[in-house]
Amino acid sequence: MSNLNLTAEQRLQKSHVALMKDPKYCLYSGIFMIGNTQVDETTSTACTDGRNTWYGRKFVNTLSDSKLRGVVLHENLHKAFRHVSMWKHLFKENAQLANMACDYVINLMIHDSAVGRDFVKLPDGTLLDSKYRGMDAGTVYRMLKKECESGKVHIKTVGDQVGKDVPVVEAGNGLDEHDWESLEGMTNEEKEALAKDIDQALRQGAILAGKMSGDIPREVTDALHSKVDWREALREFVTSFCADKDESTWRRPSRRWIGEDVYMPSVIGESVGRVVVGIDMSGSIGPQEIGQFLGELRKICETVKPEGIDLLYWDTRVCQHEKYERDQLDNLLSSTKPRGGGGTDPQCIVDYVRNKKIKAECAIILTDGYVSSWGEGWSCPTLWGITTDAVATIGKTVHVN
């Protein structure tokens, strides 16, 4: 059947199947299956909220098969690397630059994977600049932000690798939209389940790619081994628990109502509840590590405005409990007085929080990971910042160096 006789939905289905059968892209087979794929009349090009994907019907009909496969791969790589959730704080700061940064990263991966073949192509005009190769979206964002201080930004695209300086307002947003506002409607349980689904899909895809003699990009290998910037992981964890959703925005209508002829504003979370921060004082966590960790946490607090922080210094017991309310967080670094030293037993944190009836939105624990157990009965989502190669069996682990 000629492609001219196929609907946009049928062409998208063919693109997914073709990519899943290809040794180079079968790695993402499981990612393609996560969430819903829809064609609509309101999306100008394509869009993802990190789980679901939308394609504009008119846009799909303008693309050749190879370019459509490129766009499908583009959207699913955003999902695979959790760009919408990982870099949400950047979208809230400057959505245009965040969109561009994520696209630069993804498009280089697609471009490099497609060299010597016509199977996958990026549409003309898509952002592409080799100077960003090997960087993550956060690094690209900071470079773009610095460049924009002059009022202009230098952009390079597919078909124009010389590039040009354009006013920031004329630079566009990249190939597609990244709908972090719709992601705000997910519960914390749903967000955690999505992260697990993505991780499992990549691991299964890596096995399939191995069987089909396919390549596994370095970026995927790093993701599977949790080689992420601990600062960004910490920020993502805290901001994922935004509680105050009373600020509405009409910048983009909530997608949950599209199709029902109902247009409602999206809602932006502005703050989190109380956060428990536990710092291991058993001996290997020194003043430098504590200062760096708390300094990064204070920066995050400037964005998410927690109700307060319960800072616990612990070893086999909680040796010091410092309470900081929202208006006291600026003084955290100058007023804190670390205490403790000895063994290491995270169970003391669980027991202390329960006995003191601390209502925590989430818990962040800094430790060397030399523990006999990770504790039982944690009452809230927990992030472990671990200074060694240890991995916690409870909650989420990020390695701090």
Residues 13, 69, single domain; the answer is: yes
- pLDDT class for 248, splitting at 50, 70, 90? very low
Residue carrying the six token digits 């079968």 = 26
CATH number assigned to the domain comprising residue 378: 3.40.50
Q: Which pairing describes strands 318-325 and 265-268: parallel, antiparallel, or unpaired?
A: unpaired
Give domain status of residue 234, yes or no. Answer: no
pLDDT per residue over 80-116, tens digit each? 988 887 787 788 788 889 999 999 999 999 999 999 9
Give domain status of residue 232, yes or no. Answer: no
Which of 199, 225, 251 finishes a domain? 225
Q: Which pairing describes strands 46-48 and 177-178: parallel, antiparallel, or unpaired?
A: parallel
State the residue range of the domain holding 358.
239-399
Residues 245, 340, single domain; the answer is: yes
Residues 304, 213, single domain; the answer is: no
Question: Rounded distance, CA 326 to CA 275, Å?
Answer: 11
Tell me the average pLDDT across 227-239: 72
Residues 308, 221, single domain; the answer is: no
Q: Which two tokens stand for residue 69?
A: 């496969």
Which of 198, 225, 252 finishes a domain? 225
Residues 9, 122, single domain; the answer is: yes
Residues 165, 27, single domain; the answer is: yes
Residues 199, 253, single domain; the answer is: no
pLDDT of residue 251: 47
pLDDT per residue over 120-141, tens digit each? 999 999 999 999 998 888 889 9
What is the total count of domains within the chain? 2
Residues 198, 245, single domain; the answer is: no
Question: Rounded distance, CA 34 to CA 27, Å?
Answer: 14
Residues 177, 301, single domain; the answer is: no
Give domain status of residue 231, yes or no. Answer: no
| DSSP single-letter state for residue 122 | P
Q: Which residue has the higher pLDDT, 86 or 350?
A: 350
pLDDT of residue 242: 53
Tally of CB atoms within 10 A around 358? 18
pLDDT per residue over 301-334, tens digit each? 877 778 899 999 999 999 999 999 988 888 888 8
Tally of CB atoms within 10 A around 319? 16
Q: Is the pLDDT of residue 252 over 80?
A: no
Question: Rounded distance, CA 288 to CA 258, Å?
Answer: 50
Give domain status of residue 390, yes or no. Answer: yes
Residues 28, 145, single domain; the answer is: yes
H helices of 212-322, in order, are: 218-224, 230-239, 287-304
Least confident of 43-52, 172-181, 277-286: 172-181
Give domain status of residue 329, yes or no. Answer: yes
* AA identity, residue 172: G
H helices of 81-179, in order, are: 83-86, 88-93, 95-113, 137-147
* Element housing 332 (H / E): helix 332-335
Q: Which pairing describes strands 37-40 and 53-56: parallel, antiparallel, or unpaired?
A: parallel
Q: Is the pLDDT of residue 234 over 90?
A: no
pLDDT of residue 228: 57
Q: Which two tokens stand for residue 253?
A: 């209508």
- pLDDT class for 257, splitting at 50, 70, 90? very low
Residues 184, 219, single domain; the answer is: yes
Tell me the average pLDDT across 373-400: 86
| Proportion of the chain above pLDDT 70, given as a percent | 88
Residues 10, 152, single domain; the answer is: yes
